[in-house]
Amino acid sequence: MGIIINDKQNRIHLFTENTSYVLEVFEGELLHAYWGSRLELPEAFMVPIENMSSFYPNPNGDNKTYSLDILPREFPDFGRSDYRNPAIRLRLEDGSSITKFHVSSFELSKGKPVVPGLPATYAEDGDLVETLIVELIDDKSSIHAYLYYSIFETYDVITRHVQIVNKSQTNVLVDLAMSASVDFYGDHDFEMIHFNGSWARERELSRVSVSKSTHIIESRRGASSHMQNPLVLLARPSTTDLTGDVYGMNLVYSGNYKAVVEVNSYDSTRYQMGLNDFDFEWQIEPGKSFFTPEVVMTFSNEGFNGMSYNYHRLYQNRLCRGMYRDKERPILINNWEATYFDFDAQKIKDIVDVASDLEMEVFVLDDGWFGKRNSDTTSLGDWYVNKDKLPDGLTGISRYTESKELSFGLWFEPEMVSLESELYKKHPDWCLHTEGHSRSEGRNQLVLDLSREDVQNYIIESLDLILKSHPIKYVKWDMNRNMTEVGSKLLLASNQREVSHRYILGLYRILETITQKYSHILFESCSGGGGRFDPGMLYYMPQTWTSDNTDAHDRISIQYGTSYAYPQITMGAHVSMSPNHQVGREIDLERRTLTAMMANMGYELDLTVLTSHECEQLKNHIRYYKRIRRDIQFGRLYRIHHDEKRTAFMIESEDQKRYYVFYYRGLNRPNITKMTLPLYYLSEGGYQIRKIDIDTVIEDSIPHEDETVYPASYLNKKGYTFDYQKHDFDGQLLVFTKL
């Protein structure tokens, strides 16, 4: 019973377990009536049609009582009295952009159709998932728009995307096509939450009040970007992690996007997300379609934690794919911060030897193994092994790694070409460029033109050649610069504004081909750290390198912001060296490990320089993480507290019997009392508390310090009192076990 259309066919109620979304049809216009906590009687809810002064343009001469500028619209088109940002803007044969899309039909189906060529969430047999397709037609141009709404009933999620079909005899240009647009009628009591940043400072949470103006969050860089994540939330001013109403939109797309929050002078809020119309245009030939990417929408009245749970569950179960979706992720050692470009076979073997003693599970050979790549100035595109560094080739090093009982993983940056490379000499036109302009370099490299099929095929073939002939079980797929001079040699002048979207479609084709063919490989996406941490990439690769910043203190804010939409299992988190290579901060091994332990833990340091004591510590950490990682990676994450002084996360095991509290502190201060934090979310029962010393805890005996049993109600309301802070940046892990 997920979608109900009333008898008059003018009202549709989409239900999930805890939310409702209501549409209404008025004089052919598709209106937005409601989105929020679940309603039992949606019929009582009608969109008020205003009595307008005749000064306001009104689109219907027979009924001058309303203006589209006032109505809450679900698919606002352009030019007929609505002055807000439209969701669709076409350029028609006669040069105009004015359309009048009216509702023509509804169709319901079980399950969820794919979005052709694009990543999207999916339904499996038995899921309570249904789809509503609303057909709208602009009679004058013969353009049809199909709005897809899929409801994931048990996940409290609605997904939306749009298909635009050209049923005319001439080409039509799409200038703007948002995937979702929602109008909150007469309501602007919101704050907007977005996640901005830069390289090594990804996903810093910003919260701003929504004023009577237009707020735009976007990327124009050709990637979803470090700068703004395609996750934009609207929440009530009183909403916190723990309580209150919040609306989320997150785009399943890895390129240029735009989110708009616009409050008009009638106090209504328009909330949109989709492809960025900046430097964009798409030509649809007669009979052809254009599909927008999917937006994942969720509402929760249980604060940001409630919202995150909806995203986490959905992404883990119905966005990520492949055999690793439901599998515990291996502990890897990556050689990047250990060696950078400066390694040879012996150095790698030495690292592998220690990793093997420490019972790590995957060795990942990072940048520098191919062509003549001894610095970031050369060889991207030349995907053959550098025999000076690895005389026995990838075969030698991968066999050695396997003989030490570690799987072998390899780094690629397939979307790029170095100016100094054989590939560039041979195919100088294969990069994005525009004649008459010099080519801006980023990290001494250019971006390959993935809108071209020959370039896509080259990438597929070069990777295929390596993957099929070596026992590779893990691939780190990197992308280290943004687009400039966006243009393609093969496209006509009239199609040049399609390049950045065609690039992403080309990338998705490559990823689909490679990840399907090599389904036994665990893929991790990376983009100078977390420059493309988005649901589009997660569809192909179920984990992402969260940030190049591995400092255990900075990482907490990065992981905190990332956790708003993305589950902890998707966040690569590595223990690295102290002093930290990015910020020079010294932090002890215990805290560095605890920072990584709340997510998908791995290592990125020179194991060969560790003392025997440090090796002993690592051994214990690894044994302990393996023991708890099912709980950590598949459990429910709660953000308990976050400010400058301290942050606490709690992870609830799937069976709700164990709760792991990760408690991180900033600078120490003298002369302060111990601090208490309520835990809020323990399920009913009595709990035994264990302070975990990760350095000493071994397989089967966790030290029991205190046998007192505390009731959940006490811990949830009064809280737990943490030890005194020992020094700057210390950390604690506590396990609350239900008896």
Smallest distance, ligand GLA to C-beta of residue 537, A: 13
**Catalytic entry in 138, 156, 366, 478:** 478
Contact 180, 273 (CB under 8 A): yes
Element holding 712 (H helix, E strand): helix 712-717
**Contact characters 695-714, ligand GLA, x per CB under 6 A:** --------------------
In this complex, which beta carbon is closest to ligand GLA, that of residue 574 or of residue 641? 574
Smallest distance, ligand GLA to C-beta of residue 550, A: 9
Rg (CA), the chain: 27
Q: Which residue reads 């599970």 in tokens? A: 361
Instruction: Give yes or no for residue 477 binding ligand GLA (CB under 6 A).
Output: no
Smallest distance, ligand GLA to C-beta of residue 316, A: 23
Helix ranges (DSSP H) in 518-645:
535-540, 554-562, 589-597, 612-634
Instruction: Give yes or no for residue 526 binding ligand GLA (CB under 6 A).
Output: yes
Q: Which member of 29, 367, 382, 534 binds ligand GLA (CB under 6 A)?
A: 367
In this complex, which beta carbon is closest to ligand GLA, that of residue 550 or of residue 620? 550
Say how far apart CA 650 and CA 660 lie, in whole Å.
5
Q: Which member of 299, 343, 412, 545 binds ligand GLA (CB under 6 A)?
A: 545
Strand order in the sheet with 3-5: 3-5, 11-15, 19-26, 29-37
Instruction: Give yes or no for residue 480 binding ligand GLA (CB under 6 A).
Output: yes
Strand ranges, E, within 211-323 = 214-218, 231-235, 246-251, 257-263, 269-275, 282-284, 289-291, 295-300
Instruction: Give yes or no for residue 548 binding ligand GLA (CB under 6 A).
Output: yes
The contacts of residue 320 (CB under 8 Å, 6+ apart) are 538, 539, 542, 570
In this complex, which beta carbon is closest to ligand GLA, that of residue 373 or of residue 473? 373
Strand 543-545 versus strand 571-576 pairing type: parallel
Look at residues 691, 690, 684, 689 and name the one whose alpha carbon lies nearest to residue 712: 684
Smallest distance, ligand GLA to C-beta of residue 477, A: 10
In this complex, which beta carbon is closest to ligand GLA, that of residue 592 or of residue 639? 592
**Catalytic entry in 156, 449, 548, 551:** 548
Instruction: Give yes or no for residue 560 binding ligand GLA (CB under 6 A).
Output: no
Long-range contacts, stretch 628-631, CB < 8 angstroms, 24+ apart: 628/660, 629/328, 629/329, 629/601, 630/328, 630/654, 631/658, 631/660
Instruction: Give yes or no for residue 336 binding ligand GLA (CB under 6 A).
Output: yes
3-state secondary structure of 383: coil
Contact 65, 83 (CB under 8 A): no
Q: Is 548 a catalytic residue?
A: yes
DSSP lists the bridge partners of residue 737 as 658, 688
Cis peptide, bond prior to residue 579, ω within 30 of zero: yes
Contact 352, 363 (CB under 8 A): yes
In this complex, which beta carbon is closest to ligand GLA, that of residue 21 or of residue 370? 370
Instruction: Give yes or no for residue 262 binding ligand GLA (CB under 6 A).
Output: no
Say how far apart CA 735 and CA 725 lie, in whole Å.
19
* The one segment of 34-42, 309-317, 353-361, 523-531 that binds ligand GLA by CB under 6 A: 523-531
Say how far apart CA 107 and CA 135 lie, in whole Å.
8
Region 384-413 residues binding ligand GLA, contact defined as CB under 6 A: 411
Strand 129-138 versus strand 416-418 pairing type: unpaired
Smallest distance, ligand GLA to C-beta of residue 374, A: 12
Smallest distance, ligand GLA to C-beta of residue 641, A: 30
In this complex, which beta carbon is closest to ligand GLA, that of residue 29 or of residue 548? 548
Please count the residues of this chain forming the interface with ligand GLA, following the rule CB under 6 A: 11
Q: Which member of 262, 277, 361, 366 binds ligand GLA (CB under 6 A)?
A: 366
In this complex, which beta carbon is closest to ligand GLA, that of residue 14 or of residue 526? 526
In this complex, which beta carbon is closest to ligand GLA, that of residue 192 or of residue 338? 338
Instruction: Give yes or no for residue 74 binding ligand GLA (CB under 6 A).
Output: no
The residue number with the shortest CB distance to ligand GLA is 367
Report CA-CA distances (Å) from 161 to 41, 258, 319, 499, 502.
Answer: 27, 14, 15, 21, 18
In this complex, which beta carbon is closest to ligand GLA, that of residue 437 or of residue 443? 443
Packing angle, helices 345-357 and 612-634, rounded to 10: 70
Q: Is 534 a catalytic residue?
A: no
Instruction: Give yes or no for residue 528 binding ligand GLA (CB under 6 A).
Output: yes
CA 407 from chain centre, in angstroms, equals 27
Smallest distance, ligand GLA to C-beta of residue 391, A: 22
Q: Which member of 293, 529, 542, 572 binds ligand GLA (CB under 6 A)?
A: 529
Q: Which member of 262, 478, 554, 631 binds ligand GLA (CB under 6 A)?
A: 478
Which residues are marked as active site? 478, 548
For binding to ligand GLA (CB under 6 A), which residues are involved? 336, 366-367, 411, 478, 480, 526, 528-529, 545, 548
